[in-house]
């Protein structure tokens, strides 16, 4: 009896020429995987429009201010990205950030806590809030929309109670917290070094991914592609750093926000915990049958979201130098959700793009900054922000439909 012939292994295919690479990229777009292309195009359009309307939009002073402004937003958007990955929503993050800001000011200013201890207490309050809300959602089964909507009101009330009759509490102008958030900037040599290391790290990770795909006999990108992207990234980052140091430089708060985004991106894509979040958001029943502790994933994600909302509130209070009854209210919630969605996080759960909170915060922050330079009223800002958010959701729905029709 002759044994059936075993087919030879299929070698890894490489799209070697630029024409083949472009063709493969266009084919990927047609299947619904559009990557960060809409965000990049949107950012370019935003820059062109606002620079043409106000020549100060791209000057060094305004760009440094933009970095300071989006730090808190990017941190909060990172937290809501995790919840959206589950296909859920957290409407209380604005109130949690305001409550954390109030706790920080009361403990530090009124009760004399050391700055670091006051920050720690404020952040832990956010973690506790997330654990409570996540447990009610996961263990009792109350929809996250209802739990966090109630939380929005409850934590706002607690914030008012914590602030008391004072209403507004100011941080010491020469204190550690204000100096770090408003006047601390990365030394120029360090900023140049970081701007050089980031593309190098990207290149190394791309080459490692390429080698793993080749070992698994999967199609790989041509070698020249990650090298070209790294070179372009290196040039752009060095130009941005040079521009920022025409004024004060790169704020530490901005660097902190970038580190938070990078860490959680690594957590999602390189750890078992992150893969479980993807699994629960993609198909909860399949995740449960695969042995994943769904309740624990849900509770922990809501705790992380509220913790990051508290960190965001602390950073915002340190930058502004005060906390009051309006801290965390207004556009805070909608801007954070808009930044996550515009950055590429799906409202249907189980899918997000790399560094989505950072890209989304850049878009939302640039729009708000540009409209302020034009001295437009808040009603116009709300209309523009809402329109951009609607466009992002429509694109996400179309992408989801295209991916489904292509069986992805």
Of 124 and 206, the structure prediction assigns the larger pLDDT to 124
CA separation, residue 363 to residues 56, 146, 282, 344 (Å): 18, 29, 27, 12
User: Phi/psi zone of residue 113: left (φ > 0), alpha (ψ -120 to 50 degrees), beta?
Assistant: beta
Q: Which of 20-24, 229-233, 276-280 has the lowest mean pLDDT?
A: 20-24
pLDDT of residue 150: 96
Tell me the pLDDT band of 345, cut-offs 50, 70 and 90: confident
pLDDT of residue 10: 46
Which residues, 6+ apart, have CB-to-CB distance to 171 below 8 Å? 105, 108, 109, 177, 178, 317, 318, 321, 322
| pLDDT > 70? residue 135 | yes
Residue 195 in tokens: 């701007």
3-state secondary structure of 112: coil
CA separation, residue 240 to residues 233, 234, 235, 247 (Å): 11, 10, 9, 12
Q: Which of 100-104, 134-138, 346-350 has the lowest mean pLDDT?
A: 346-350
| pLDDT > 60? residue 11 | no
| pLDDT > 50? residue 4 | no
Across 69-90, average pLDDT: 94
pLDDT of residue 9: 45
Residue 290 in tokens: 């695969």
- Which among 42, 43, 15 has a CA at the least distance from the CA of 27? 15
pLDDT of residue 242: 95
Across 348-367, average pLDDT: 85
| pLDDT > 90? residue 92 | yes
pLDDT of residue 221: 76
- At 29-54, the pLDDT tens digits run 666 566 667 778 888 888 998 899 98
pLDDT of residue 123: 97
| pLDDT > 80? residue 157 | yes
Of 360 and 315, the structure prediction assigns the larger pLDDT to 315
Tell me the pLDDT band of 132, cut-offs 50, 70 and 90: very high
Across 360-377, average pLDDT: 87
pLDDT of residue 367: 87
Cβ atoms 69, 332 nearer than 8 A: no
Across 122-133, average pLDDT: 96
Across 328-346, average pLDDT: 86
Cβ atoms 327, 317 nearer than 8 A: yes
- At 197-252, the pLDDT tens digits run 999 998 998 888 888 888 887 877 788 888 998 999 999 999 999 999 999 999 99
- What are the backbone dihedrals phi and psi of residue 323, each rounded to the nearest 5 degrees, phi first? -135, 140
Across 71-91, average pLDDT: 94
pLDDT of residue 33: 61
| pLDDT > 60? residue 8 | no
| pLDDT > 50? residue 166 | yes
| pLDDT > 60? residue 15 | no
pLDDT of residue 380: 80
pTM, two decimal places:
0.87
pLDDT of residue 173: 87
* Mean pLDDT of the residues in the chain: 87
Which residues, 6+ apart, have CB-to-CB distance to 176 below 8 Å? 115
Tell me the pLDDT band of 128, cut-offs 50, 70 and 90: very high
| pLDDT > 70? residue 126 | yes
Of 375 and 311, the structure prediction assigns the larger pLDDT to 311
- At 281-322, the pLDDT tens digits run 888 899 999 999 999 999 999 999 999 999 999 999 999 999
Across 66-95, average pLDDT: 94
């Amino acid at each position: 009896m002759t044994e059936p012939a075993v087919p030879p292994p299929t070698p890894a295919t490489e799209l070697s020429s630029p024409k083949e690479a472009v063709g493969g990229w266009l084919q990927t777009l047609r299947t619904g995987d559009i990557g960060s292309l809409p965000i990049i195009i949107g950012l370019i359009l935003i820059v062109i429009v606002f620079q043409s309307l106000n020549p100060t939009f791209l000057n060094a002073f305004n760009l440094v201010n933009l970095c300071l402004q989006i730090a808190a937003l990017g941190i909060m958007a990172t937290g809501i990205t995790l919840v959206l990955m589950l296909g859920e929503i957290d409407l209380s993050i604005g109130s949690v950030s305001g409550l954390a800001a109030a706790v920080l000011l009361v403990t530090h200013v009124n009760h004399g806590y050391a700055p670091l201890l006051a920050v720690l207490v404020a952040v832990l309050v956010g973690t506790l809030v997330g654990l409570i809300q996540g447990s009610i959602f996961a263990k009792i089964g109350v929809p996250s929309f209802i739990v966090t909507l109630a939380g929005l009101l409850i934590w706002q009330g607690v914030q008012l109670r914590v602030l008391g009759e004072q209403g507004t509490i100011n941080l010491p102008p020469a204190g550690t917290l204000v100096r770090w958030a408003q006047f601390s900037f990365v030394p120029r040599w360090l900023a140049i070094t970081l701007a050089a290391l980031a593309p190098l790290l990207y290149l190394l990770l791309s080459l490692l991914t390429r080698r793993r795909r080749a070992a698994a006999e999967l199609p790989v990108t041509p070698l020249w592609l990650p090298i070209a992207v790294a070179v372009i990234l290196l040039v752009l980052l060095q130009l941005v750093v040079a521009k920022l140091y025409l004024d004060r430089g790169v704020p530490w708060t901005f660097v902190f926000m970038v580190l938070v985004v990078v860490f959680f991106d690594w957590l999602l894509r390189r750890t078992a915990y992150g893969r479980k979040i993807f699994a629960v958001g993609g198909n909860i029943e399949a995740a449960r049958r695969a042995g994943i502790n769904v309740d624990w994933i849900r509770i922990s994600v809501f705790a992380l979201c509220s913790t990051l909302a508290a960190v965001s509130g602390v950073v915002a209070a340190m930058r502004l130098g005060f906390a009051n009854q309006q801290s965390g209210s207004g556009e805070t919630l909608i801007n954070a959700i808009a930044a996550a969605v515009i950055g590429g996080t799906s409202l249907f759960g189980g899918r997000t793009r790399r560094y989505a909170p950072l890209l989304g915060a850049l878009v939302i922050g640039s729009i708000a900054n540009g409209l302020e330079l034009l001295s437009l009223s808040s009603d116009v800002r709300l209309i523009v922000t809402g329109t951009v958010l609607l466009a992002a959701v429509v694109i996400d729905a179309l992408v989801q439909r295209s991916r489904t029709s292509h069986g992805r």
